Amino acid sequence: MKFQPEASHFINGAYVEDTAGAVIDVIYPATGEVIARLHSATPAIIDQALEAARQAQAQWAAMTGTERGRILRRAADIMRARNHDLSVIETHDTGKPIQETTVADATSGADALEYFGGLAGSLTGEHIPLGGGDFAYTVREALGVCVGIGAWNYPTQIACWKGAPALACGNTMVFKPSETTPLSALKVAEILIEAGAPKGIYNVVQGYGDVGASLVTDPRVAKVSLTGSVPTGRRVYAAAAESIKHVTMELGGKSPLVVFDDADIENAVSGAILGNFYSSGQVCSNGTRVFVQKGIKEAFLSRLAERLATAVIGDPMDPATNFGPMVSEAQMNIVLGYVDKGKAEGARLVYGGTRLDRDGFYLLPTVFADVTDDMTIAREEIFGPVMSVLDFDTEEEVLERANATEFGLAAGVFTRDITRAHRMVAGFEAGTCYINSYNLAPVEAPFGGSKQSGVGRENSKLAINHFSEMKTVFVSMNDIQAPY
Ligand SMILES: NC(=O)c1ccc[n+]([C@@H]2O[C@H](COP(=O)([O-])OP(=O)(O)OC[C@H]3O[C@@H](n4cnc5c(N)ncnc54)[C@H](O)[C@@H]3O)[C@@H](O)[C@H]2O)c1
């Protein structure tokens, strides 16, 4: 098989296999063909990976930040040099068009390695004067062994967004990719070794949810960072709480994108397209509830339909393709179920809604209009190319409706009125907001959700706080006064 890795797992600097584990077939979503066959980690493999990470951690943390950072930056350079090959793997693993994977996956992973590599040398504590010559100082310490668990939409990016800050702080990692997209994290592990990383600092084990669950409860693990759905997040958060482990939760969303009638329609349509159909709609922060002010509703919908008709849907390896298949047959069927619910509950289908008559898991980009807040498609995360357009009259009304959800990942507003834009983002209950743009996630800025969409932030200097903790040291320069 063309994409068969040397073995399923990467532990202590080498590929490792244990065929006793359940089979994981890797399927190319554009054709349905099996392109690799891996095995889920057995308890012996899980133990081997955690032990490797545990043993490597003290030595890794004892290196200077500058030395650790140099390795991460070298890994970033290797990833960029191999971007094409890595993008081909990512396209076969996820079905995302090569046009996308070339600019948003290994390159985003390399950005994280470079950014956190650059920060590694400056991760310090502070000196706190206490009066009379006494003082305290703080030491920024690594947490220990961290577990990363990934979703299937951005496999390389997630492997690096978790790995890079963890390693920069002196932690080691055991990363479990999604069982749907297991290939690229192995490449990240290989590249780190090539860049000079000590063995055991970044290990990859494959597996289904049960493997993730065993990692989360292991006493050797200090921290769990999960990217996944809210129901999985709830389970992982509860399991981690048993032994008070640190957590970062990057979970799902049902984000609002509000278009006022003074907005530049062309830009608003572009934002709605990026926020609903990039990666065939499989992006956590997507603005899938598009609230359009009544005055421009028909103009917005007709321009949207015109632009969607120009999408190039097809072979993801063709550089001209800009809309690919869904990641799996199962996910495609979930989305088709939501399309049926949308129709049954009275939404007006204005574009798409069907599967393409070809091999692979292709759905047309789909738009429903006249959606109301109570409809299933307006309440639940679909995680596919389905946009719901809802009408609104006033700013006050739309803000209240935008926030009426348990999710709080992202929110966006399109308007030419800058004060209204800032009023709206001040009112949005969301971790990541966009004014006249949508779905940016550069490494320099924090990314994450509030409410049930998450705990903690990835990227930016803030991620450092989620992968390290402060030790406070009090120093007395004077005689001690005791009461007796
Ligand atoms: N906020 C973000 O940054 C972000 C980014 C991408 C995706 N997502 C979310 O991810 C979801 C789609 O991905 P998915 O379908 O792979 O999610 P999922 O929740 O089904 O699985 C996520 C990961 O958790 C593992 N897992 C499942 N059960 C587990 C358990 N009990 N213990 C430990 N691990 C377990 C899975 O094997 C997988 O690796 C969507 O909800 C999407 O919004 C969020």
CATH topology of domain 7-250: Aldehyde Dehydrogenase; Chain A, domain 1 (3.40.605)
* ipTM reported for the complex, 2 dp: 0.97
Our answer to whether residue 100 is catalytic in this structure is no
Task: Answer whether residue 10 shows pLDDT above 90.
Answer: yes
Beta-ladder partners of 464: none
- Look at residue 172 in the predicted model and tell me its pLDDT: 99
Q: Which of 90, 114, 250, 395 is catalytic?
A: 250
Residue spans of the domains in the chain: they are: 7-250, 254-433
The CA-CA-CA angle for residues 292, 296, 301, to 5°, reads 75
Mutate to test the pocket of ligand 1, among 152, 224, 226, 232 (most ligand atoms within 8 A of CB): 232
Distance from residue 251's CA to the centre of ligand 1 (Å)? 7
Mutate to test the pocket of ligand 1, among 40, 96, 108, 149 (most ligand atoms within 8 A of CB): 149
Burial (0-12, 13-18, 19+ Cβ within 10 Å), 140: middle
Mutate to test the pocket of ligand 1, among 181, 276, 284, 466 (most ligand atoms within 8 A of CB): 284
Q: Mean pLDDT for the chain?
A: 98
**56, 199 in Cβ contact below 8 A?**
yes
Percentage of the chain beyond pLDDT 70 is 100
Mutate to test the pocket of ligand 1, among 211, 229, 443, 458 (most ligand atoms within 8 A of CB): 229
Q: Ligand 1 atom 16: the closest Cα is on which residue?
A: 151
Distance from residue 250's CA to the centre of ligand 1 (Å)? 9
| Closest ligand 1 atom to Cα of 228 | 10
Distance from residue 216's CA to the centre of ligand 1 (Å)? 14
Distance from residue 228's CA to the centre of ligand 1 (Å)? 2
Q: Ligand 1 atom 18: the closest Cα is on which residue?
A: 228
- Look at residue 400 in the predicted model and tell me its pLDDT: 98
Q: Ligand 1 atom 17: the closest Cα is on which residue?
A: 228
Distance from residue 463's CA to the centre of ligand 1 (Å)? 19
- Look at residue 1 in the predicted model and tell me its pLDDT: 77
Distance from residue 227's CA to the centre of ligand 1 (Å)? 5
Distance from residue 177's CA to the centre of ligand 1 (Å)? 10
Give the up-direction half-sphere exposure of residue 34: CA atoms within 13 A in the CB hemisphere.
7
Q: Ligand 1 atom 5: the closest Cα is on which residue?
A: 284
Query: In the structure, what pLDDT confidence band is assigned to residue 224 with cuts at 50, 70 and 90?
Result: very high
Average pLDDT over residues 148-152: 98
Q: What is the CATH number that goes with domain 254-433?
A: 3.40.309.10
| Closest ligand 1 atom to Cα of 216 | 33
Burial (0-12, 13-18, 19+ Cβ within 10 Å), 334: middle
| Closest ligand 1 atom to Cα of 207 | 37
- Quick one: which of 251, 66, 36 has its CA closest to 158? 251
Mutate to test the pocket of ligand 1, among 96, 105, 225, 227 (most ligand atoms within 8 A of CB): 227
- Quick one: which of 432, 429, 427 has its CA closest to 445? 432
- Look at residue 412 in the predicted model and tell me its pLDDT: 98
Task: Answer whether residue 39 shows pLDDT above 80.
Answer: yes
Q: What burial letters (b/e) apply to 231-248, b meaning 16+ CB within 10 Å?
A: ebbebbbebbeeeebbbb
- Distance from chain centroid for Cα 398: 28
**385, 280 in Cβ contact below 8 A?**
yes
For residue 225, give both structure tokens.
């960072």
- Look at residue 134 in the predicted model and tell me its pLDDT: 98
Average pLDDT over residues 94-98: 98
- Quick one: which of 329, 316, 307, 291 has its CA closest to 413? 291
Integer Cα distance of 215 and 361 in angstroms:
32
Integer Cα distance of 147 and 248 in angstroms:
10
| Closest ligand 1 atom to Cα of 152 | 16
- Look at residue 456 in the predicted model and tell me its pLDDT: 98
Residues 237-247 have pLDDT tens digits of 999 999 999 99
**86, 187 in Cβ contact below 8 A?**
yes
- How far does the chain reach from its first CA to its final CA, in angstroms? 78
Residues 335-359 have pLDDT tens digits of 999 999 999 999 999 999 999 999 9
Q: Ligand 1 atom 10: the closest Cα is on which residue?
A: 228
Residues with Cβ within 8 Å of 195's Cβ and at least 6 positions away in sequence, in order, are 71, 72, 74, 75, 77, 78
Distance from residue 318's CA to the centre of ligand 1 (Å)? 29
| Closest ligand 1 atom to Cα of 250 | 1
Q: What burial letters (b/e) apply to 420-453, b meaning 16+ CB within 10 Å?
A: bbebbeebbbbbbbbebebbebebeeebbbebbb
- Look at residue 2 in the predicted model and tell me its pLDDT: 84
Distance from residue 481's CA to the centre of ligand 1 (Å)? 55
Average pLDDT over residues 301-325: 98
Q: Ligand 1 atom 44: the closest Cα is on which residue?
A: 251
Residues 49-84 have pLDDT tens digits of 999 999 999 999 999 999 999 999 999 999 999 999
Residues 182-205 have pLDDT tens digits of 999 999 999 999 999 999 999 999
Q: Ligand 1 atom 36: the closest Cα is on which residue?
A: 209
Residues with CB under 6 A from ligand 1: 149-153, 176, 178-179, 208-209, 212-213, 216, 227-229, 232, 235-236, 250-253, 284, 381, 383, 409, 449, 454
Average pLDDT over residues 466-479: 98
- Look at residue 227 in the predicted model and tell me its pLDDT: 98
Distances (CA, A) of 400 to 16, 395, 418: 53, 9, 20
Distance from residue 138's CA to the centre of ligand 1 (Å)? 35
